[in-house]
Structure 1
Amino acid sequence: MSEKITKIRGFRFAGIASGIKKNSKKDLGLIVADRPVNAAGVFTRNLVRAAPVEVSSERLKAHKKAQALLVNSGNANACTGQAGMDATLRSSEAIARALGIEPGLVLPSSTGVIGVVLPVEKIVDSTERLVGSLSEDGAMEFAEAILTTDRFPKTASETFKARREEGAILGIAKGAGMIHPDMATTLGFILTDVSAPSSYLRAALRRTVDKTLNRVSVDGDTSTNDSFYLLASGVGMKLDDDLKKRRFEEALFKVLLSLGEQMVSDGEGAEHAVTIRVFADTEKNAKRVAHAIGTSLLVKTALFGKDPNWGRIIAAAGRAGVRFDPARAEIRIGDD
């Protein structure tokens, strides 16, 4: 289940029902910073990219800053052509007007059904109510508003100390299907109160994502909408030395690892969450072998059937493209 939520200074949250989803479920979320803040993001490597991915990645590349994260669920707005692009631009412009900020500081995200144009009128008509709902205590409402097939919201928080200063990180994510280790995996929003340049935030996010979310696989599919953001309000600890940066990245690792584990446990149709540990001569080789085992359909069916068929594991490892001596390989199944 989702973990505790720590307030992050400098951010407000909202989550409401706009009518995109049926049954009055929350489907529109908003995170707003008190001012433009340094930001970073990583996006899907799928060649088919949704309109909001194109818009957000270009805006981040141009400005290196953001002030609002607008997220809708129930509609991916992917494979929707110019009409979908126009809908994304119009929805983010409506939020920008309501907040009194530049449209380029609004980063939109969408998740849901592919191939249907975003019903932008529902978002525009809900803008005033959404902005009016913003609160420092609204993180859970936001977390609920971004869900699709998820069974529960996914949140994780960490605090850390260095040089008698304290920092905090909050992560909110969604993901239960189309989860595969290629970039960032589903939608995620990481907020922190530290002060750091966008270039460092981008590098830290990429390093940490590669060690956590890029090693998660549920169904082998990489989405058209995968996006992960890191925003720093800058009101807290200044990451101006190696110790502070190390403590920050240790906390960021814990947050992303927790979010990844929650995604696995909430995978569509999943009945087992399995950790694969591989010991090899290099991290690169270990990762390749683990990936081959984790994505093997034969291994997955064995796990589903509670059949400890180690032959399928060694066979999957053998096709990973990593040279090893099968006679010296050890396979252990069960608790450490």
Structure 2
Amino acid sequence: MVVNLKKPKNEDLHTIPGIQLGTAIAEIKNKGQRDLLIISLPEGSVVAGVFTKNQFCAAPVIVAQENIKQTNKTRALIVNTGSANAGTGEIGIKDARDICKSLAFKLKIKPHEVLPFSTGVIMEPLPVKKIQKKISEAVEDLNES
């Protein structure tokens, strides 16, 4: 389903105290495009998830479900564009867990406190190395503005 939303004006976007965003160019699909986003949540944040009931959901959905079930202390989200990590089987699940581990290590939190999100091309492996290489840059970019 196509949703044609207009891009909001910058002045209409407001920060949420304690929520930090950081981006990086990982060149997952396109060169020069900011395609990696880290969202850092302050300690004590409450996160809920609404998930598809599809039996063939993508690896990031499976890992996010697992992680939310393990803790009510989600501290970070990692989002990439360019690769959906869908239809990738057990390797895709391992890849989603690996990027959660990499971000958790950098933020000094537990891997199950990270939720992964991916959008883009399906049936292609997630370029884990490209993402891991740019996690530090995205973390260094974290800010509330």
Fold-level similarity (TM above 0.5)? yes
The corresponding residue for 1:32 is 40
Over the residues paired in the alignment, what is the CA RMSD in angstroms? 1.1
Is 2:17 the counterpart of 1:9?
Answer: yes
**Residue in 1 that maps onto 2:89:** 81
Contact 1:36 1:105 (8 Å CA) reproduced: no
Q: How does 1:247-258 map to 2 (within 5 A)?
A: none
Q: Indicate the SS of the match to 2:75.
A: strand
Counterpart for residue 131 of structure 1:
139
- Which residue does 2:130 correspond to in 1? 122
Residue-by-residue CA offset, 1:147-167 (whole Å, 9 max, x unaligned): xxxxxxxxxxxxxxxxxxxxx
| Residue aligned with 1:39, SS | coil
* Deviation string, structure 1 residues 77-126 (Cα, Å, up to 9, x no partner): 01111211111111110000000001111000101111011010001111
Structure 1 residue 36: deviation in Å?
Answer: 4.4
1:52 and 1:36 mapped to 2: Cα distance? 23
Report the more deviating stretch, 46-55 or 33-42: 33-42
Task: Tell me, in whole angstroms, the C-alpha distance in 1 between the residues paired with 2:84 and 2:39.
Answer: 19
Q: Which has the larger radius of gyration?
A: 1
Is 2:116 the counterpart of 1:111?
Answer: no
Matches of 2:44 and 2:36, distance apart in 1: 21
Count of equivalent residues: 137
Q: Structure 2: where are the runs of 5+ without partners?
A: 1-5
Q: Match of 1:126, as an amino acid? A: K
Alignment of 1:224-263 (within 5 A): none
In 2, the alpha carbon distance for the partners of 1:35 and 1:2 equals 31
Aligned: 1:51 with 2:59: yes
TM-score (norm 1): 0.40
CA–CA distance in 2 between the matches of 1:116 and 1:71?
Answer: 17
Percent identical pairs in the alignment equals 38
Partners in 2 of 1:19 and 1:2 — Cα distance?
A: 23
SS in 2 for 1:127: helix
Instruction: String of CA shifts for 1:197-224, please: whole Å, max 9, x gaps.
Output: xxxxxxxxxxxxxxxxxxxxxxxxxxxx
CA–CA distance in 2 between the matches of 1:89 and 1:62?
14
2:85 counterpart SS class? coil
| TM-score scaled by length of structure 2 | 0.89
Q: Which runs of 5+ in 1 are unaligned?
A: 138-336
CA spacing shift, 1:89–1:97, aligned 2, 3 Å: same
Shift of 1:65: 2.7
| CA distance, structure 2, for counterparts of residue 41 and residue 48 of structure 1 | 18
SS at match of 2:67: helix
Q: Distance in 2 between matches of 1:119 and 1:55?
A: 17
